[in-house]
């Protein structure tokens, strides 16, 4: 045993093991199999221990003098090889930490404990006042299976539609938004990757969902995909919106009556409204798109949350005499054409599929009631519909 411990082969094997472990560490972190600050530090500590052990065995061979041994490589040369290799290992450790950091680069906050960010399609920050619960399914009826502190990063793989939760980050006294999105934390697929992630990163194998109402985007959230019913269970996405007719609404103290505009969409939790001012119609702002939002009104009068008692209908108050007539150029007398959109919104700043929006064209005159007219082909292109959809679901905070 003493001969083995004092053999140069032992130093070489330990040094190679340290190098191989370091390379594996970089690959596993990059693939999201090894994550978590404490978990990565634990692995780094093991690698460092192997390197120190190699150095310790190398010290046992450090010669007292400079005389070479009768056979093989001289002892001083072997010592130089060991110290050089270990010095290179320290350099590689620094390089790996630079290009394969514990946390995903560019995030404003570090990852939550037991949460992965590497390789996640979407990363958000927890924003619950006392932290965020995760649940085994997309709703509050499912049991909690994790808890995360406030203001740290979590990576998500996809989302399910579930219980609508009031979104405090986009809601005010003038507008309310809810979100039915429940975000599923990213995990390794079943198999060796899941087993290794459980061993090294303490990853739990079950699904964990966090409501989008208590998550602040840290990366682009629009591309996150809807998970299958196999993952989510039965889902009820919103149906296409349908714009209703204008109706007069007179408020006490107003010189002119306002207009109420309604839209319906089965299973919608929010409905947004927006307007487009085409160029050449007599408006000061040419080609402008903006939401139908008025901060002087209450939340039920503005776009946003659909009350469960409303029968899938959202009715807003539109003071178009102020919102549009004031935008007409002085002296304009003829009709000015506008395009309206109503669309279901999954949450604030997040419209549903563009095809679910309903468009209508109206003529606005300096005096009188808006009159419906036929849409032009140029007013139905996808680029304009996308702008209208994003404006309709815009959180005005």
Q: CB under 8 Å to 330, separation ≥6 — which residues?
A: none
* Closest to 138 (Cα-Cα) out of 212, 62, 189, 201: 212
Beta-carbon-side half-sphere exposure of residue 63 (alpha carbons within 13 Å): 13
Average pLDDT over residues 207-221: 94
Band of residue 1 on the pLDDT scale cut at 50, 70, 90: very low
Give the angle 395-216-26 at the CA atoms, nearest 5°: 145
* Predicted confidence (pLDDT) at residue 51 exceeds the cutoff of 70: yes
Mean pLDDT check: name the lowest of 61-70, 159-168, 214-223, 339-348. Answer: 61-70
* Predicted confidence (pLDDT) at residue 68 exceeds the cutoff of 70: no
145: how many CB neighbours lie within 10 A of its CB?
15
Between CA 184 and CA 10 the distance in angstroms is 47
* Closest to 334 (Cα-Cα) out of 367, 287, 304, 358: 367
How far, in Å, are 304, 337, 339, 384 from residue 374 at the CA level? Answer: 27, 10, 10, 17
Position 373 scores a pLDDT of: 78
* Predicted confidence (pLDDT) at residue 164 exceeds the cutoff of 90: yes
Q: What is the pLDDT of residues 315-368, one digit of tens each?
A: 998 877 677 777 778 777 777 888 999 999 999 999 999 999 999 988 877 666
Q: What is the mean pLDDT of the chain?
A: 83
Reported residue count of the chain is 397
Kindly state the greatest CA–CA separation across the chain.
Answer: 110
Please give the span between the terminal C-alpha atoms of the chain, in angstroms, as a whole number. Answer: 72
Q: What is the pLDDT of residues 267-314, one digit of tens each?
A: 999 999 999 988 877 788 778 899 999 888 899 999 999 988 888 899
Contact status, residue 265 vs residue 238, Cβ threshold 8 Å: yes
């Amino acid at each position: 045993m003493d001969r083995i411990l004092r053999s140069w082969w032992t130093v070489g094997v330990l040094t190679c093991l340290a190098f191989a472990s370091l390379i594996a560490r970089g690959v596993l972190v990059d693939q999201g199999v090894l994550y978590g600050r404490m978990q990565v530090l634990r692995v780094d500590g093991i690698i460092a221990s192997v390197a120190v052990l190699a150095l310790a065995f190398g010290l046992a061979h450090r010669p007292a003098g400079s005389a070479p041994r009768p056979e093989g490589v001289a002892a001083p040369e072997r010592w130089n090889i060991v110290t050089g290799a270990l010095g290179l290992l320290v350099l590689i450790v620094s390089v790996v930490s630079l290009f394969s950091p514990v946390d995903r680069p560019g995030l404003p906050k570090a990852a939550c404990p037991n949460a992965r960010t590497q390789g996640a399609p979407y990363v958000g920050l927890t924003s619950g006042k006392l932290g965020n619960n995760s649940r085994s399914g997309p709703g509050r009826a499912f049991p909690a299976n994790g808890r995360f502190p406030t203001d740290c990063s979590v990576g998500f793989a996809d989302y399910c539609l579930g219980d609508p939760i009031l979104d405090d980050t986009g809601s005010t006294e003038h507008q309310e938004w809810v979100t039915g999105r429940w975000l599923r934390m990213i995990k390794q697929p079943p198999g060796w990757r899941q087993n290794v992630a459980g061993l090294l990163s303490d990853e739990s194998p079950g699904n964990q969902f966090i409501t989008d109402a208590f998550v602040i985007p840290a990366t682009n959230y629009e591309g996150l995909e809807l998970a299958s019913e196999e993952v989510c269970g039965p889902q009820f996405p919103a149906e296409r919106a349908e714009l209703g007719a204008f109706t007069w609404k007179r408020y006490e103290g107003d010189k002119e009556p306002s207009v109420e505009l309604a839209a319906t969409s089965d299973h919608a939790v929010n409905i947004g409204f927006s307007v487009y001012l085409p160029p050449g119609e007599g408006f000061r702002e040419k080609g402008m798109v903006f939401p139908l939002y008025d901060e002087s009104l209450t939340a039920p009068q503005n776009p946003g949350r659909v009350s469960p008692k409303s029968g899938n209908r959202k009715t807003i108050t539109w003071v178009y005499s102020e919102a549009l007539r004031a935008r007409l150029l002085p002296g304009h007398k003829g009709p000015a054409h506008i395009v309206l959109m109503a669309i279901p919104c999954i949450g604030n700043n997040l419209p549903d599929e563009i095809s679910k929006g309903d468009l209508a064209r109206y003529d606005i005159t300096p005096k009188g009631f808006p009159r419906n007219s036929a849409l032009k082909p140029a007013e139905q292109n996808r680029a304009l519909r996308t702008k209208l959809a994003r404006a309709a679901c815009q959180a005005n905070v």
